[in-house]
Structure formats: C-alpha cells, structure tokens
Amino acid sequence: MGKELAMAEPHAQAREEQFLGALLGLAIGDALGRPLRDMTASDIADRYGAVNTFIADRDTEEGQPLQGEISDKSEIVLCLVESLTTNDGRLDPVNINARLGFLVNGPSRQWMSDAVAEGVELAADHDGLVPETWLPEPELAVAVRGVPVGLLHAVGGYDEAALEAEAATASRLTHAGRDQAMLTAEVAKAINRAARFRDVASITATGGDPPECRDLAKIVDLVRGAETFQAAVSGAVGLGGMTDSIGALGGAIAGARVGASGIPQHLIDGLDARIYLTLAAPWFYRTAIRRAGTVIDLRLVE
C-alpha cells in the first residue's frame, strides 16, 4: 500500500479540536454502523436510505434495545487512550492487556471476533503481546487501533518509522504479522495527515495486499470526496459488511479532518459515550504534546 501524495510540512500541528473530533468521529461511526453489521449495501439503502441518525437495535445478548452505543472497536481504542494517558504516552502492552481482559469477559465480547478474543487471552501469557507465530487474518477492526497511534504522532516532529513501530505493537496486542501491522499503520498515517493538515490522501492497494487494504482504500476515498462529516460517515456505514469497523474508520478520519466543531450536534448528543470521550480527548492531547516535548512541565519535582 502507498499514499498518492507524500506528507509535506512535517511540523504542522494537530490541535485538541482534532483529537476530540477523531475520537468522537470514531465512536459515532461505530455506533451508527453497529446495528447494520453484516447487511449489504443494497439492503441498507433499501431499508434505511442514508444513515444519518442512530438506529435502535434489539439483537443483543440481554435483549435490550441499544441506540447510540459503541462496540468493542471504540472500547479497545479507549483502552489504548487510557493506558497511553496514564503512561506518559508509552504503549504498555501488559497494562493494555489487563484492560482488554475485562472487555473479553464482559458484554463487548458479543461484537468481538474470535481472533481478537483469543489473541487477548494468548497475549496475557506473553507480556501483553501475542507471539509472532500467531497470524490470524488481518481485520479492519484491529486496524482501528491506528487512530490513537496517528493522533499521538500528530504533534511535534513526524517520525514515520516510530509511527509504524507503534502501529505494529498496537496490532500485536491480538494480531501478529506484517499485513496487519501495515494495515494499522496506514490508518495511523491517514489520521495523522487529517489531524495535521485537514487533508485526506488516497491510498493505493496493490494486488498483493490483503482484501482489507482495498476496503481501507475505498473508505479513505469516500471520506476524501465527502464535503461534510455526516456525508463521510453515512457513506462509510452505507458500504455494508463490517459496518461498525468501517464506520469507525470513516468517522475517525473525517472527525480528525473537520475537528469536533464540524460534527453535527445531534450525533454527539445521541452518542452514549459522549461524556467520557469529551473528558478523555483533552487529557490524551496533553499527553501527546508532553511526549513530543512541545510544552514545558512546570510542576514542582520533590
């Protein structure tokens, strides 16, 4: 895979607005897409048309209607954000694995792939990372972890090698292998560019790339051509298939580009996790700028 355009002006900086927009956008896309999962694009269009509001869903283990609620895709990203925030911007696989273990044993398991759940359990015995021999098929759901990685590198100088290394670590929390690491890194780069430059560049998938790379390229092109956040995220979930993952990716990239102020208020108000996200994003942003060395910490050291 490769980008159509090389990144320019590597020291342009993302603002807190972009961090909040990316995280809100991710969760909104996830929540819009979750009830549509495994539906085809034509079925979604025939039944709902353009999906611009949250849809109630009764197909849950508890049998309770859910509307505007996130799935494991957003929850896993929030586990990474929480851990990064409490560890000065460092990926701590053992700490993250402990958090993921609660998700595997809770209601989120119903939306989680078997490979993700098995990976979490396997990583628990290997310092938080699965062995390099554990090679399940790449997943867009795992690539969503590129969102916090891309944001983390969206302030300060841009080090693509470091971004790729951390994307590989985020993938290997459940999935080893070059293809998954590459897919997650491409998400991180798309988020980074959108947050720094308010721009989305096309991704080129070759015949040797896994099918998920072509899916990601399609999502990126859709967001790139959309004039508004709502058009981007509605178009993404309208693609059908793994709509929670697709919606999360489309929403995150679009949200990073337009910032929180570019997201319609009714989508924020209807999102169940909105309060937590609006608290988590500023702390994550401050963690990123401290890690990048762009602020001076004046707290008294005893």
Give residue-wise pLDDT tens across range 15-30. Answer: 999 999 999 999 999 9
pLDDT band at 205 (very low <50, low <70, confident <90, very high): confident
Instruction: List, for residues 103-136, the tens digit of each pLDDT value.
Output: 999 999 999 999 999 999 999 999 999 999 999 9
Does pLDDT of 141 surpass 60? yes
Q: Where are the domains of the chain?
A: 2-292
Question: DSSP character for 40?
Answer: B
Q: Tokens for 121, please give them.
A: 């359990």
Amino acid at 150: G
Mean pLDDT of 73-87: 97
Q: How many residues does the chain have?
A: 302
Helix (H) or strand (E) holding 285: helix 274-292
- pLDDT reading at 78 higher than 50: yes
Segment 42-58 mean pLDDT: 91
Q: At 190, is the pLDDT very low, low, confident or very high (cuts 50, 70, 90)?
A: very high
- Of the pLDDT bands very low, low, confident and very high (cuts 50, 70, 90), residue 7 is very low
| The pLDDT of residue 8 is above 50 | no
Q: How large is the average pLDDT for residues 243-261?
A: 98
Burial status of residue 9 (CB atoms within 10 A of its CB: 0-12, 13-18, 19 or more): exposed
Distances (CA, A) of 203 to 2, 31, 129, 192, 263: 6, 25, 28, 14, 24
The secondary structure of residue 295, as a DSSP letter, is S
Contact 277, 31 (CB under 8 A): no
Distance CA 290, CA 296 (A): 8
Residues 130 and 283: their CA atoms lie apart, in Å, by: 29
Give residues with Cβ within 8 angstroms of 135, minimum separation 6. 175, 176, 177
pLDDT at 209: 83
Q: Is the pLDDT of residue 145 over 80?
A: yes
Which of 232, 264, 278, 274 shows the shortest CA–CA distance to 70?
Answer: 274
What is the mean pLDDT of the segment spanning 75-90? Answer: 97
pLDDT band at 65 (very low <50, low <70, confident <90, very high): low
pLDDT score, position 2: 55
SS3 readout for 229-248: HHHHHHHHHCCECCHHHHHH
Tell me the one-letter amino acid at 248: A
For residue 85, what pLDDT band results from cuts at 50, 70 and 90? very high
pLDDT at 294: 58
> Could you count the other beta carbons within 10 Å of the beta carbon of residue 228?
13
Q: How confident is the model at residue 60 (pLDDT cuts 50, 70, 90)?
A: low
Q: What share of the chain is helix, strand, coil (3-state, %, to 5)?
A: 60, 5, 35
Residue pair 264/51 in contact by the 8 Å Cβ criterion: no
Position of tokens 């697709």? Answer: 246
- Report the range of poorest mean pLDDT among 148-152, 236-240, 262-266, 293-297: 293-297
The pTM score is: 0.92
Q: Does domain 2-292 have CATH number 1.10.4080.10?
A: yes
Average pLDDT over the chain, rounded to an integer? 92
pLDDT per residue over 223-234, tens digit each? 999 999 999 999
Distance CA 97, CA 95 (A): 6
**Which residues fall within 8 angstroms of residue 46, CB to CB, at 6 or more apart?**
none
**Residues pairing with 40 in the sheet:** 240
Q: What is the mean pLDDT of residues 182-191?
A: 97
**pLDDT value, residue 3:** 52
